[in-house]
Amino acid sequence: MHIVLNHPLVAHRITLMRDKNTKPKLFRELVAEVTSFLAIEALKDLRTEEIEVETPITVTKGRKIKDKIVIVPILRAGMGMVDAMLKVLPSAKVGVLGMQRNEETAEPVPYFAKVPAANGDELALVVDPMLATGGSAVDAVGQLKKLGYRRIKFLNLISAPEGIAKIESEHPEVPVYTAAKDERLNEHFYIVPGLGDAGDRIFGTL
Protein backbone atom coordinates (compact mmCIF):
# COMPACT_ATOMS: atom_id res chain seq x y z
CA MET A 1 0.00 0.00 0.00
CA HIS A 2 1.29 3.46 -0.84
CA ILE A 3 -0.22 6.83 -0.01
CA VAL A 4 0.69 9.93 -2.03
CA LEU A 5 0.04 13.25 -0.30
CA ASN A 6 -2.38 15.28 -2.37
CA HIS A 7 -2.19 18.76 -0.97
CA PRO A 8 -1.38 22.12 -2.59
CA LEU A 9 0.92 23.12 0.27
CA VAL A 10 2.97 19.97 -0.31
CA ALA A 11 2.96 20.37 -4.11
CA HIS A 12 4.22 23.95 -3.75
CA ARG A 13 7.15 22.87 -1.59
CA ILE A 14 8.05 19.92 -3.82
CA THR A 15 8.19 22.30 -6.80
CA LEU A 16 10.66 24.53 -4.95
CA MET A 17 12.73 21.48 -3.98
CA ARG A 18 12.94 20.33 -7.58
CA ASP A 19 14.37 23.68 -8.71
CA LYS A 20 18.11 23.22 -9.27
CA ASN A 21 18.67 26.81 -8.14
CA THR A 22 17.27 26.22 -4.64
CA LYS A 23 20.13 26.63 -2.16
CA PRO A 24 20.89 24.09 0.62
CA LYS A 25 19.47 26.26 3.43
CA LEU A 26 16.07 26.60 1.77
CA PHE A 27 16.21 22.99 0.58
CA ARG A 28 16.70 21.77 4.15
CA GLU A 29 13.80 23.90 5.35
CA LEU A 30 11.55 22.49 2.62
CA VAL A 31 12.57 18.93 3.48
CA ALA A 32 11.61 19.57 7.10
CA GLU A 33 8.27 21.12 6.18
CA VAL A 34 7.26 18.30 3.84
CA THR A 35 8.42 15.74 6.40
CA SER A 36 6.02 17.27 8.92
CA PHE A 37 3.14 16.85 6.49
CA LEU A 38 4.16 13.23 5.88
CA ALA A 39 4.35 12.51 9.60
CA ILE A 40 0.89 13.91 10.26
CA GLU A 41 -0.59 11.75 7.50
CA ALA A 42 1.29 8.61 8.47
CA LEU A 43 0.42 8.89 12.16
CA LYS A 44 -3.35 9.26 11.88
CA ASP A 45 -3.80 5.75 13.30
CA LEU A 46 -1.54 6.12 16.34
CA ARG A 47 -2.88 4.30 19.37
CA THR A 48 -4.04 6.50 22.22
CA GLU A 49 -5.43 6.10 25.72
CA GLU A 50 -7.95 8.19 27.62
CA ILE A 51 -6.75 10.32 30.53
CA GLU A 52 -8.28 12.89 32.83
CA VAL A 53 -7.07 16.46 32.53
CA GLU A 54 -7.93 19.59 34.46
CA THR A 55 -8.44 22.69 32.35
CA PRO A 56 -8.65 26.22 33.83
CA ILE A 57 -12.42 25.74 33.74
CA THR A 58 -13.16 22.12 34.67
CA VAL A 59 -12.03 18.50 34.62
CA THR A 60 -12.46 16.68 31.32
CA LYS A 61 -11.30 13.65 29.38
CA GLY A 62 -8.49 13.75 26.86
CA ARG A 63 -6.32 11.36 24.91
CA LYS A 64 -2.57 10.80 24.94
CA ILE A 65 -0.40 8.74 22.63
CA LYS A 66 0.52 5.36 24.06
CA ASP A 67 2.50 4.01 21.11
CA LYS A 68 6.24 3.70 21.52
CA ILE A 69 7.86 5.11 18.39
CA VAL A 70 11.32 4.73 16.87
CA ILE A 71 12.45 6.97 14.01
CA VAL A 72 14.95 5.21 11.75
CA PRO A 73 16.69 7.38 9.14
CA ILE A 74 18.72 5.73 6.40
CA LEU A 75 22.10 7.48 6.35
CA ARG A 76 22.98 9.95 5.20
CA ALA A 77 20.08 11.71 3.48
CA GLY A 78 17.52 10.41 5.98
CA MET A 79 19.13 12.55 8.67
CA GLY A 80 17.67 15.58 6.91
CA MET A 81 14.20 14.41 7.99
CA VAL A 82 14.93 13.58 11.62
CA ASP A 83 14.59 17.02 13.25
CA ALA A 84 11.16 17.53 11.70
CA MET A 85 10.07 14.07 12.85
CA LEU A 86 11.23 14.83 16.39
CA LYS A 87 9.29 18.08 16.46
CA VAL A 88 6.15 16.06 15.77
CA LEU A 89 7.24 13.18 18.03
CA PRO A 90 9.51 14.68 20.72
CA SER A 91 9.51 11.55 22.88
CA ALA A 92 10.44 9.16 20.06
CA LYS A 93 13.69 7.23 20.04
CA VAL A 94 16.05 7.40 17.06
CA GLY A 95 17.99 4.57 15.47
CA VAL A 96 20.13 4.77 12.35
CA LEU A 97 20.87 2.45 9.44
CA GLY A 98 23.84 3.19 7.22
CA MET A 99 23.66 2.07 3.61
CA GLN A 100 25.75 3.08 0.63
CA ARG A 101 24.61 2.56 -2.94
CA ASN A 102 26.83 0.55 -5.27
CA GLU A 103 26.89 2.95 -8.23
CA GLU A 104 27.32 0.11 -10.75
CA THR A 105 24.55 -2.19 -9.55
CA ALA A 106 22.42 0.33 -7.58
CA GLU A 107 22.23 -2.28 -4.81
CA PRO A 108 22.51 -1.15 -1.15
CA VAL A 109 25.65 -1.94 0.81
CA PRO A 110 24.93 -1.87 4.58
CA TYR A 111 27.78 -0.49 6.67
CA PHE A 112 26.28 0.59 10.03
CA ALA A 113 23.32 -0.16 12.27
CA LYS A 114 22.44 1.29 15.67
CA VAL A 115 18.76 0.76 16.48
CA PRO A 116 17.05 0.50 19.89
CA ALA A 117 16.06 -2.99 20.98
CA ALA A 118 12.54 -4.02 20.04
CA ASN A 119 9.90 -6.05 21.82
CA GLY A 120 7.67 -6.21 18.73
CA ASP A 121 5.13 -3.59 19.79
CA GLU A 122 6.98 -0.40 18.80
CA LEU A 123 6.15 1.53 15.66
CA ALA A 124 9.25 2.01 13.51
CA LEU A 125 9.20 4.91 11.06
CA VAL A 126 11.86 4.50 8.38
CA VAL A 127 12.69 7.84 6.76
CA ASP A 128 14.66 8.50 3.57
CA PRO A 129 14.02 11.34 1.10
CA MET A 130 14.28 9.28 -2.10
CA LEU A 131 12.72 5.93 -2.98
CA ALA A 132 14.41 5.01 -6.26
CA THR A 133 15.08 1.30 -6.87
CA GLY A 134 13.72 0.44 -3.43
CA GLY A 135 16.81 -1.57 -2.53
CA SER A 136 17.79 0.44 0.55
CA ALA A 137 14.22 0.65 1.81
CA VAL A 138 13.65 -3.09 1.45
CA ASP A 139 16.97 -3.84 3.15
CA ALA A 140 16.19 -1.41 5.99
CA VAL A 141 12.79 -2.97 6.63
CA GLY A 142 14.38 -6.43 6.54
CA GLN A 143 16.97 -5.42 9.13
CA LEU A 144 14.27 -4.02 11.41
CA LYS A 145 12.24 -7.22 11.15
CA LYS A 146 15.31 -9.23 12.15
CA LEU A 147 15.68 -6.93 15.18
CA GLY A 148 12.12 -7.74 16.25
CA TYR A 149 10.12 -4.84 14.82
CA ARG A 150 6.68 -5.87 13.61
CA ARG A 151 5.03 -2.49 12.96
CA ILE A 152 6.90 -0.53 10.31
CA LYS A 153 6.08 2.40 8.03
CA PHE A 154 8.23 4.04 5.36
CA LEU A 155 8.15 7.82 4.81
CA ASN A 156 9.83 9.56 1.90
CA LEU A 157 9.64 12.68 -0.23
CA ILE A 158 9.95 11.47 -3.84
CA SER A 159 9.18 7.96 -5.08
CA ALA A 160 9.74 6.13 -8.34
CA PRO A 161 7.16 3.50 -9.34
CA GLU A 162 9.92 0.90 -9.37
CA GLY A 163 10.76 1.54 -5.73
CA ILE A 164 7.16 1.44 -4.59
CA ALA A 165 6.62 -1.83 -6.46
CA LYS A 166 9.70 -3.38 -4.84
CA ILE A 167 8.57 -2.58 -1.29
CA GLU A 168 5.04 -3.78 -2.03
CA SER A 169 6.49 -7.03 -3.40
CA GLU A 170 9.01 -7.69 -0.61
CA HIS A 171 7.14 -6.19 2.36
CA PRO A 172 3.47 -5.89 1.37
CA GLU A 173 2.35 -5.07 4.93
CA VAL A 174 4.58 -1.96 5.14
CA PRO A 175 2.77 1.20 3.99
CA VAL A 176 4.71 3.78 2.00
CA TYR A 177 3.91 7.47 2.52
CA THR A 178 5.33 9.76 -0.14
CA ALA A 179 4.95 13.42 -1.04
CA ALA A 180 5.28 12.82 -4.80
CA LYS A 181 5.25 9.80 -7.11
CA ASP A 182 7.44 10.51 -10.13
CA GLU A 183 7.59 9.00 -13.61
CA ARG A 184 10.44 6.50 -13.65
CA LEU A 185 14.12 5.77 -13.10
CA ASN A 186 16.69 6.67 -15.73
CA GLU A 187 19.59 4.50 -16.89
CA HIS A 188 21.64 5.66 -13.89
CA PHE A 189 18.85 4.72 -11.45
CA TYR A 190 18.02 8.34 -10.65
CA ILE A 191 14.39 9.39 -10.29
CA VAL A 192 12.91 11.34 -13.21
CA PRO A 193 12.07 14.22 -12.93
CA GLY A 194 13.24 13.92 -9.32
CA LEU A 195 15.31 16.57 -7.58
CA GLY A 196 18.85 15.24 -7.92
CA ASP A 197 20.81 13.71 -5.06
CA ALA A 198 18.88 14.61 -1.90
CA GLY A 199 21.88 14.02 0.37
CA ASP A 200 24.10 16.35 -1.63
CA ARG A 201 21.41 19.02 -1.72
CA ILE A 202 20.68 18.76 2.02
CA PHE A 203 24.32 18.88 3.07
CA GLY A 204 25.62 21.20 0.34
CA THR A 205 28.09 18.66 -1.08
CA LEU A 206 27.27 19.14 -4.75
Q: What is the pLDDT of residues 70-84, one digit of tens each?
A: 999 998 899 999 999
The pLDDT tens digits for 122-161 are 999 999 999 999 999 999 999 999 999 999 999 999 999 9
User: Has residue 108 got a pLDDT over 90?
Assistant: no
Examine the residue annotation and report whether 197 is marked as an active-site residue of this protein: yes
Q: How much is the pLDDT for 80?
A: 94
Q: How much is the pLDDT for 86?
A: 97
Q: How much is the pLDDT for 43?
A: 96
Residue among 18, 22, 67, 197 flagged as catalytic: 197
User: Has residue 110 got a pLDDT over 70?
Assistant: no
Residue among 63, 105, 184, 205 flagged as catalytic: 105
- How far apart, in whole angstroms, are the C-alpha atoms of residue 45 and residue 27? 29
Q: How much is the pLDDT for 105?
A: 63
Q: How much is the pLDDT for 113?
A: 83
Examine the residue annotation and report whether 105 is marked as an active-site residue of this protein: yes
Residue among 18, 28, 150, 200 flagged as catalytic: 200
The pLDDT tens digits for 20-53 are 999 999 999 999 999 999 999 999 999 999 999 9
The pLDDT tens digits for 13-28 are 999 999 999 999 999 9
Class of domain 2-203: alpha beta
Residue among 18, 28, 101, 150 flagged as catalytic: 101
Examine the residue annotation and report whether 200 is marked as an active-site residue of this protein: yes
